[in-house]
Structure 1
């Protein structure tokens, strides 16, 4: 299967080039290409995972140049598993975006901008996961970030430009730190190949190794939104279109977590940063959930829960035991899926209710019961309600912390339990105010006078345009005239089937982590074992290496 390794990167890049050549012409062909390419990437990722799980790490030296001269691509169990879930998520988000763009007639944001940029983002994500050396990982990050700069400012509204400026400045600072860490390691060891670094770092002076580790952890911590490096996130993500916010929140922060896992298991397995990571994990949990509790905008509330739940993953990375890493990998997969789902469903709430402000929403359980159900399931999943996968992942982390028995680890377990309960409270507040309570009084459209309000992906259509599109303007498909007594900010078009279908598919994927929990936990256990004893990974990449650490 080695020949399949470049495809998750090359297929989206080639498709993006084709779509740029096509330009605004042939919109149906543009959409077909996007879905077909992302489906092919998912199929390749599944094949790589099956082969990596059965036969060990799959390695390809690009151009036949051996490490460290050439570019090394590696699919071990961790990278292949992350690639599978990210491919499934990006495919569903693309279907959602197509449904939204079609309903809104691609107003202000043509296919020729969004689709190639989105495919470029997917290519960068795949390259970051498959990279076998730090510099190629850096290139993957930069491909991903260049695309994200465009996506986060789609529509050119003032809030998006302002939030995008903050995002770009933080991302560039993080990239600079990453590049500094790569330079330090290359100057000290003569290589940036991960397998070779795992052997050579042990021979470095402790001070040099510690500086490189701290700079690398800082760079990955910014990308993962670990407190105190996370304050940019709640102001940046909520302003973006729903599909963009969903893929950013669900996936991009987990690439930072992936980098932390690689750094702390393969490069620096000596636990020197353990206490620092545990403290950062605790602060992320506390600050994130307290921020969520005081929000009145659903997008900002869910963004703060993202910061909070990053703390759970950092907790598991810091412990570095087999049980902790098993639970961490499981929780990362769960969180990619559930966080993406929540932001997509929040887009449905905004489209159906006219706002994401809890002060303007109300009565959606009666006017949009399907949206209520679609929000309730991932919300309870994120809150950790048993037997959903959010509960299973947290339970595994709690058990690992109790097995560790250290004062900081036990403090983290207590903090994580309280954080989980407060997360559930914050999400129940959203449910009560947006869905159960009486409809709010009519108000201005979402985003008017509000920094956090954001228009849909291709900008909201007017009620007249919605009616022309066959939606729920006056006398539209939702049946009858708008009722002012319902208190909605404004009526929007009937929810497009692709948007609802993509959200339901992601909910089903999240629930499958419970239904197939046994096999999935067993797989993440094998991932953890491979991470803690990377001899096979090292020797697969560099057969002449003295061997990995066991």
Structure 2
């Protein structure tokens, strides 16, 4: 029999049409970070050139992510499949408003951190790889926010974990090594649990594409242990996000590295865990998450109280801020426990606020430590008298993290409290308010001791004002918090639209399977 000469029909397996130019934005942030990281590694001995290259590259990254957010807001979720293989077989990068908004905010935080590092990271730290590690970290963070595949979410978690190890031990001081051990142990446990659960997920669904899972999950509720699967994912991501009772690694490690590294960690790392919880619990397994909502609400309440009370007990500003990170994670977990578009909109708004404000608080703490001689509240004082502008910026950040108007922390707190009351979680709304009150007391104590209280009378010299590279990042982030607080409409609309897409993911599914649904 003669061999058939008809050409093979590849349309059932491959994407044959050309990729639209704007769709390349889906993967450009990750590719850009990896490429610049490699360049920085090659010029690691040129300590003067490294910050210039990194700051310029991160400014470009902000532009890429801003354009991607605009594209997604205009066109809906966008998908690009690696190797042109059709999903669910090809590895998909799928971006909706939630992923694009998180990616843009993380890029802004990284750019601010790179500017602050000009003053905080010396030539030795640059030679040992601060800026290459920062770009690798951003590759992992961007990949986690932009991927549409659960296994690749695990891969990008690994990338950001490896780079965070490098940043944490930069300097090789004994305190840093101790913090890295504590940080690394529980994060490796969480990563291992994540990988095991991903294998469990593959065994049930046969695929790891998020859109495919979201489409098939409702039909498997009676035949597969999806509640157990969801609980395992929640536990793994709760460890990553530093939720109670697996949050002891954060206050034991975030105070050990350079202050700019602590600022980047506070702004980025735990928010990746929150993002993963949103993606898994709200889009993929909403019914299972609802069955676990009471457990999640209790964990959220305990996380908020642990963070707020822990902050009250600290006399070291870095440790205090670590507990404030935990308290904020509890507030976001509360919104995930409540569910619904209003609550998830509040979580997304709160996450953006927390990324900006927690980064600014750590950078302000570093500047205050240089001015007063250390991070201890016992020996601090007199900052308001000598540096009133810096003191005013710090006070505004304290108000914002406490959820007071007219700053960015006010609106998401209102959204979460209202959603809790409407959803039958009035007790959780009360704890949200109590946590904000305790945070206000903790930060007010810092301001009274470190800023308002007169300095030691024996102090002879007036400290030098902070360098512009130390003050400018704090100023920019504080102004951002004020602007968001006074004009919240744009971010509020984006957060609500993002939450609506997560709760009703048909647009996400149609982006991956444009023919009308997963196979």
Establish whether TM, by shorter chain, passes 0.5: yes
Residue 239 of structure 1: SS of its match in structure 2?
Answer: coil
Task: Give me the whole-angstrom Cα distance separating, in 2, the residues matched to 1:518 and 1:542.
Answer: 32
Report what 1:146 is aligned to. 162
- Would you say the 8 A contact 1:180–1:215 is kept in 2? no
Deviation larger for 58-67 or 421-430:
58-67
Report what 2:513 is aligned to. 542
Task: Give me the whole-angstrom Cα distance separating, in 2, the residues matched to 1:63 and 1:95.
Answer: 37
- Would you say the 8 A contact 1:124–1:140 is kept in 2? yes
Q: Give, in angstroms, the shift of residue 418 of structure 1.
A: 1.1
Matches within 5 A, 1:124-139: 124-139=140-155
Task: Give me the whole-angstrom Cα distance separating, in 2, the residues matched to 1:336 and 1:510.
Answer: 11
2:459 to 486, 497, 504: 486
Q: Give, in angstroms, the shift of residue 515 of structure 1.
A: 3.1
- Would you say the 8 A contact 2:120–2:259 is kept in 1? no
2:216 to 200, 218, 234: 200
Task: Give me the whole-angstrom Cα distance separating, in 2, the residues matched to 1:238 and 1:313.
Answer: 23
Change (3 A) 1:206 1:295: farther
Task: Give me the whole-angstrom Cα distance separating, in 1, the residues matched to 2:458 and 2:311.
Answer: 30
Deviation larger for 288-297 or 359-368:
359-368
Residue 458 of structure 2: SS of its match in structure 1?
Answer: helix
Matches within 5 A, 1:56-205: 56-101=76-121, 105-106=122-123, 108-204=124-220, 205=222
Q: Give, in angstroms, the shift of residue 487 of structure 1.
A: 7.3
Report what 1:459 is aligned to. none
Task: Give me the whole-angstrom Cα distance separating, in 1, the residues matched to 2:223 and 2:292.
Answer: 13
1:513 to 468, 473, 484: 484
Task: Give me the whole-angstrom Cα distance separating, in 1, the residues matched to 2:118 and 2:28.
Answer: 23
Q: Give, in angstroms, the shift of residue 544 of structure 1.
A: 4.5
Whether 1:15 aligns to 2:33 is: no
Q: Give, in angstroms, the shift of residue 86 of structure 1.
A: 0.8
Q: Give, in angstroms, the shift of residue 495 of structure 1.
A: 2.1
Whether 1:341 aligns to 2:360 is: yes
Task: Give me the whole-angstrom Cα distance separating, in 1, the residues matched to 2:480 and 2:140.
Answer: 23
Task: Give me the whole-angstrom Cα distance separating, in 2, the residues matched to 1:311 and 1:115.
Answer: 31
Matches within 5 A, 1:149-548: 149-204=165-220, 205=222, 208-270=225-287, 271-404=290-423, 406=424, 409-440=425-456, 485-486=458-459, 494-544=465-515, 546=517
Residue 23 of structure 1: SS of its match in structure 2?
Answer: coil
Report what 2:26 is aligned to. 5
Task: Give me the whole-angstrom Cα distance separating, in 1, the residues matched to 2:54 and 2:403.
Answer: 34
Gaps of 5+ in 1: 441-483
Q: Give, in angstroms, the shift of residue 542 of structure 1.
A: 2.1
Task: Give me the whole-angstrom Cα distance separating, in 1, the residues matched to 2:127 and 2:58.
Answer: 16
Q: Give, in angstroms, the shift of residue 413 of structure 1.
A: 0.6
Q: Deviations over 1:52-83 (max 9, x none)?
A: 11110011112212223222111110000111
Q: Give, in angstroms, the shift of residue 201 of structure 1.
A: 2.3
- Would you say the 8 A contact 2:197–2:232 is kept in 1? yes
Task: Give me the whole-angstrom Cα distance separating, in 1, the residues matched to 2:467 and 2:107.
Answer: 23
Aligned residues: 495
Q: Which has the higher contact order (CA 8 A, sep 6+)?
A: 1
Q: Give, in angstroms, the shift of residue 494 of structure 1.
A: 4.5
Gaps of 5+ in 2: 1-21
Q: Deviations over 1:159-184 (max 9, x none)?
A: 11001011111111110011011100
Q: Give, in angstroms, the shift of residue 237 of structure 1.
A: 0.3
Q: Give, in angstroms, the shift of residue 486 of structure 1.
A: 2.4
- Would you say the 8 A contact 2:72–2:97 is kept in 1? yes
Q: Deviations over 1:111-138 (max 9, x none)?
A: 4511101110011000000010111111
- TM-score, normalised to structure 2's length? 0.92
Task: Give me the whole-angstrom Cα distance separating, in 1, the residues matched to 2:139 and 2:491.
Answer: 26
- Would you say the 8 A contact 1:363–1:486 is kept in 2? no
- Would you say the 8 A contact 1:352–1:368 is kept in 2? no
Task: Give me the whole-angstrom Cα distance separating, in 1, the residues matched to 2:480 and 2:127.
Answer: 27
Q: Give, in angstroms, the shift of residue 427 of structure 1.
A: 0.3
Deviation larger for 122-131 or 192-201:
192-201
- Would you say the 8 A contact 2:312–2:442 is kept in 1? yes
- TM-score, normalised to structure 1's length? 0.87
Task: Give me the whole-angstrom Cα distance separating, in 1, the residues matched to 2:194 and 2:223.
Answer: 20
- Would you say the 8 A contact 2:115–2:473 is kept in 1? yes
- Would you say the 8 A contact 2:45–2:127 is kept in 1? yes
Q: Deviations over 1:364-414 (max 9, x none)?
A: 11233333122111111001111212111111111111111x2xx111011
Task: Give me the whole-angstrom Cα distance separating, in 1, the residues matched to 2:486 and 2:395.
Answer: 18
Task: Give me the whole-angstrom Cα distance separating, in 2, the residues matched to 1:375 and 1:295.
Answer: 18
Residue 68 of structure 1: SS of its match in structure 2?
Answer: coil
Residue 74 of structure 1: SS of its match in structure 2?
Answer: strand
Q: Give, in angstroms, the shift of residue 547 of structure 1.
A: 6.4
Task: Give me the whole-angstrom Cα distance separating, in 2, the residues matched to 1:401 and 1:264.
Answer: 17
